[in-house]
């Protein structure tokens, strides 16, 4: 777990659990490595924005709606870009495969409405070798995120 993430959680008195594991990057990695329910997995997509970053929390199997994300951030779709992993590591103390949707540093959090259907959130810890397990309501309280529709509807 990232020391920055750990400090953030502890300063807010959040109760949580952590599962350590082999490095993972993708949902497929998570499904094969973790003993946790994949339906509760939440990914954090990190975007560059003026003045910092935006972390968008989506159910791990969902796809991002870049237009809606850009609109929420006050950007043109053409100007929305994923953040450089080196910048994210340096400024947020998070690495690819371990992004946690929390307002750490300059990060603004956007929460896809479907994530709120989960009773428990399983997400990154800042490192791709540990996973955070936290009750939804505890996470929502500390995430201080803007709720909206940021995922594309699943195609059948």
Domains and CATH numbers, the chain: 3-152 (3.90.960.10)
pLDDT in single tens digits along all 156 residues of the chain: 999 999 999 999 999 999 998 888 777 877 787 777 778 899 999 999 999 999 999 999 899 999 999 999 999 999 999 999 999 999 999 999 899 999 999 999 999 999 999 999 999 999 999 999 999 999 999 999 999 999 996 654
Residues in the chain: 156
Q: How many CB atoms lie within 10 A of CB 15?
A: 8
pTM exceeds 0.85 for this model:
yes
Q: Is residue 97 a contact partner of residue 60, using CB atoms and an 8 Å limit?
A: no
**Residue 47 Cα distances to 53, 79, 85, angstroms:** 6, 10, 10
Residue from 54, 88, 100 nearest 73 by CA? 54
């Amino acid at each position: 777990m990232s020391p920055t993430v750990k400090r953030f959680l502890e300063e807010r008195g959040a109760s949580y659990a952590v599962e350590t594991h082999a490095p993972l990057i993708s949902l497929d990695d998570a499904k094969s490595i973790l003993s946790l329910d994949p339906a509760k997995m939440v990914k954090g997509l990190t975007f560059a924005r003026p003045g910092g970053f935006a972390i968008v929390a989506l159910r791990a199997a969902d796809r991002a709606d870049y237009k809606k994300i850009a609109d929420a951030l006050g950007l043109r779709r053409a100007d929305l870009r994923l953040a450089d992993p080196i910048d994210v590591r340096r400024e947020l103390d998070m690495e690819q495969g371990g992004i946690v949707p929390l307002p750490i540093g300059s990060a603004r959090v956007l929460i896809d409405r479907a994530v709120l259907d989960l009773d428990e959130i399983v997400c990154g810890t800042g490192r791709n070798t540990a996973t955070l397990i936290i009750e939804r309501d505890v996470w929502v309280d500390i995430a201080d995120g803007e709720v909206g529709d940021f995922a594309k509807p699943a195609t059948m």
